[in-house]
Structure 1
Amino acid sequence: MADDTELWDARYREGDQIWSGNPNVILVREATGLEPGRALDLGCGEGADAVWLARRGWRVTAVDISGVALERAARHAAREGVAERIDWQRHDLAASFPEGLFELVSAQFLHSHGDLPREKVLRSAAAAVAPGGVLLVVGHAGFPPWEHDHPHDLRFPTPDEVLEALELPEGQWEVLLSEEHERSQTGPDGQAIVRTDNVVKVRRVSHPG
């Protein structure tokens, strides 16, 4: 855990705030109509998604490998008045996973330059979904044009490949969404670009037939 923890802590120390502070667009779109319950936010970063969910009545378990990120996230929650609704937990998801079942499990851009067994983690995420609950997985479809320091053999899975890797038992899950989604993003030079993300949303059947 030490190497990946240090990698991410160093990444967050590069600035006072790394992310926008706004919740992820697909989470907002797909969770807005859900009945609030227990939510699990995997790779919560600086906490924008967890805070957004908590403000809408969810009780959130929010997980990240970086202690620096979690400290910032807790301060964000306190400023928004929802600190009591969020349980911040530090996990290296390659080695440990939060306990419990959740009505919503969200994995937003759960990518790492370290040794993250993403498929295994996502299968654990599916196992943590309560009957009738939803798993929402959003990931990049490719690297941004300004990022060149990455393994050239690394590729991002398609939505169908994500679904296949989840190994969901037949008859126990309903596929609600499997698609590519385009969004605008501002690059380091201030220029607006369009990026493609992959979205998978599945629901565990309450009473499997």
Structure 2
Amino acid sequence: MLNLISSGSNLQVKGSKFYYGILAAFILGGLLGTSYLIFDGLKFSSAFSFLWIVGGFIFFPIYLYLFIWFLPGLIPGKVLISLFQGNDGYLVTKKGNISFKQIRNIDLVRNPLNLVNNMVIETFDGRVIKIPTYDLIDDTDFAVIVDKYIFLHLTPEAKQVWDRKVNLDKLYENVKYERETGIKG
């Protein structure tokens, strides 16, 4: 379900259209549904009107909070991850480019405060860079992106760390992905 756009050595990863639909339906549907509960409950046309008002006032702030955090990810066509391939390859971030050879650890981590998945990159010079993916890239797709486009250019230490995280048998079973062993130029 990867949505990759490749032009030369530049590779841009966009969110899955399926996940865009699910995210929009969940968050926007939740906002509209809770709004409807509040407004219909305020008419007091049913014995359950009080329950609708209480439920709406409980869940509306939750959906509004999620909407605010996920709104940047709902922009159609947003590039989530941009990288340049090759031996001198790098990831493009807002805080500057990160060479593949500088990466010590790379992982997909959910932020417990806002529930947004972030690609977290730790470098050898101690920097920690977070690239939000807004739950538009799932764990399997993330593993394929890192293993296929970044892994070959990591340092041996970083390769060992990644090998402990990734299950190549599971990737082959799920998406028929096999790691290439050659070195790309």
Could you state the TM-score of these two structures normalised by the residue count of structure 2?
0.28
Larger RCO of the pair (alpha carbons < 8 Å, separation 6+) = 2
Higher relative strand content: 1
Could you state the TM-score of these two structures normalised by the residue count of structure 1?
0.26
